[in-house]
Amino acid sequence: MSRRAWFAGLVSGAGLLAAACSSPASQVLDTPEGRVLQYEGDDLLVLVTGLEPTYRAGDRLHLNLLVNNQSAGFVQVKLRTKLLGRADQPVVQVDPVLLDVKSDDATNADQDVVLPRELVAGDYTLSVEVPPWKLDGREFGGGATLRAPVRLEPASSQ
């Protein structure tokens, strides 16, 4: 399936769910295709897919970060992915992803987040920060943080 067809299907399904909800610009959608984190605002749409509700310590999260630029200019967006523990303290942080997106286009990147085996089982939060981005070289947008709960089970005894 082409990236555009995948994106069109995902957005149409997410759009229907988003229209039914009166929540802020950043939200978590549970779709038949899986969990989707979505931010839409200031002519930018950010989708994070591939997230499961439960993992085991030692697992790897395989995420896809997609940015759709709905503006008339060129944007540069930095995405910072973290796993947060108690008191929103980062327990895992990966290198930021920088995406360059032409006007009325979309770009995506895959990102793996390795969960150390020594992480304690419990409730965590996946956080993807979208700081203000650059539109035609100037800082733009208010920024956002996409967040979703993640349950971590003990590592398997292999």
3-state secondary structure the chain: CCHHHHHHHHHHHHHHHHHHCCCCCEEEEEECCEEEEEEEECCEEEEEEEECCEEECCCEEEEEEEEEECCCCCEEEEEEEEEECHHHCEEEECCCEEEEECCCEEEEEEEEEECCCCCCCEEEEEEEEECCEEECCEEECCCEEEEEEEEEECCCCC
pLDDT interval class at 156 (50, 70, 90): confident
Q: For residue 11, is pLDDT > 90?
A: no
Rounded alpha-carbon distances, angstroms, from residue 31 to 16, 92, 101, 150: 10, 26, 26, 16
Q: Is 142 exposed, middle or buried (0-12, 13-18, 19+ CB in 10 A)?
A: exposed
Rounded (5°) CA angle 76-48-40: 65
pTM of the model: 0.82
pLDDT interval class at 157 (50, 70, 90): confident
At 16 the pLDDT is 45
CB 38 within 8 A of CB 66: no
Compute how many other C-beta atoms are within 10 angstroms of the C-beta atom of residue 72.
Answer: 10
At 49 the pLDDT is 97
CB 76 within 8 A of CB 89: no
Which structural domains are found in the chain, ordered by start? 28-153 (2.60.40.10)
At 103 the pLDDT is 97
- Per-residue pLDDT tens for 79-91? 999 999 999 999 9
